Amino acid sequence: MAIATDTARGAPGRHATRDGVLLFLGALAAFASYDAFAKQMLMTQAPGMVNLGRYVTIVTMSLVLLLRHMRARPGGPMPWRQPHQGLLWLRSFMLATVATSFMTALVYMPLAESTALYFTAPLFMVMLSPWLLGEKVGRVQWTAVALGFAGMLLVVRPGGNLPLVGTLSMLLAAVCYAMFQILTRRLSGLIPAPVQFAHMALVCLVVTSVPTLLAPHIPLPSWPMALVLLGGGLVSGCAQLLLLAAFARVSAATLAPLNYIQLLLAVLISTVWFQKPPDGIALAGIALIVAAGVYLAKAGRPSR
């Protein structure tokens, strides 16, 4: 999932804006494609195995970026001697929890409803930001939160058909992703992005994959399937790089409303590929979540 953060600097030109938007749309398509790929793989593979293929590839990519960063800035602190280590570890662990919870939820839930619940993360960010960032949340932001959570209730419909374990797992993923984004804001400008990326990738690889590898009852995939899982990880890693390239060209405020294209893609993929279209009430809830997210993005970031 791509939630925009304030990383672009200066006022981009027209061509930079166009290129940034195209890169961002490419990232959203790659994220949606990987989610569909993961849903398909989970029909025969354990969630930890899917995450293993993903993070082996992402770790490799992140280490290449980290080496380039260290060569470009010789004499800087080593990656394991960065300041704010506690926050850095917590940030990485939050994303590892997201990866574990997201894969678990996909085992039990349709792709469209899963993605809709995951997209409540910006609403949790608003709720948590006064306590964790000292930001002032106004009436506009709280209105968006109320609208989005009304949509979430329409999707979930307590007592409805969605399994409880999948619903709770995806909501945990949304909360932890909100925490991940808040910690990313806290660390912005304090720790270089390549260091954060490599740290996150290594922690996610260990947390999501080692328990699966140590479990005796989970078979290892065949070599052809392992290559398929690594290929899926390449798609996920490329999505992350496209996202970084987009943020380097365009402000987060410009890109944030486009995030919900990924949710619409998830609905389309769930309907066409998996033959699991959301019903009318769930679609109404998804529409409310999209409206709340776009309204929140247009309203801007809370003030301090």
pLDDT value, residue 131:
79
Helix axes 47-72, 193-214, angle to 10 degrees: 150
In this prediction the pTM is: 0.86
- Examine residue 282 and state whether it is found in any structural domain, yes or no: yes
The number of domains in the chain is 1
- Examine residue 100 and state whether it is found in any structural domain, yes or no: yes
User: What would the pLDDT profile of 170-214 be if each residue is shown by its tens digit?
Assistant: 999 999 999 998 888 888 778 888 888 999 999 999 998 887 777
CB of 279 within 8 A of CB of 37?
A: no
User: What would the pLDDT profile of 239-274 be if each residue is shown by its tens digit?
Assistant: 988 988 887 788 776 777 788 899 999 999 999 999
- Examine residue 9 and state whether it is found in any structural domain, yes or no: no
pLDDT of 84 higher than 70: yes
* 3-class secondary structure per residue, 154-170: HHHCCCCCCCHHHHHHH
- Examine residue 175 and state whether it is found in any structural domain, yes or no: yes
Alpha-carbon span 113 to 58, nearest angstrom: 26
- Examine residue 7 and state whether it is found in any structural domain, yes or no: no
- Examine residue 6 and state whether it is found in any structural domain, yes or no: no
Range of the domain at 21: 14-299
The residues facing 136 across adjacent strands are 303
The residues facing 303 across adjacent strands are 136
> Mean pLDDT over all residues of the chain?
86
User: What would the pLDDT profile of 21-34 be if each residue is shown by its tens digit?
Assistant: 999 999 999 999 99
- Examine residue 5 and state whether it is found in any structural domain, yes or no: no
Closest by CA to 296, choosing from 182, 144, 97, 189, is 144
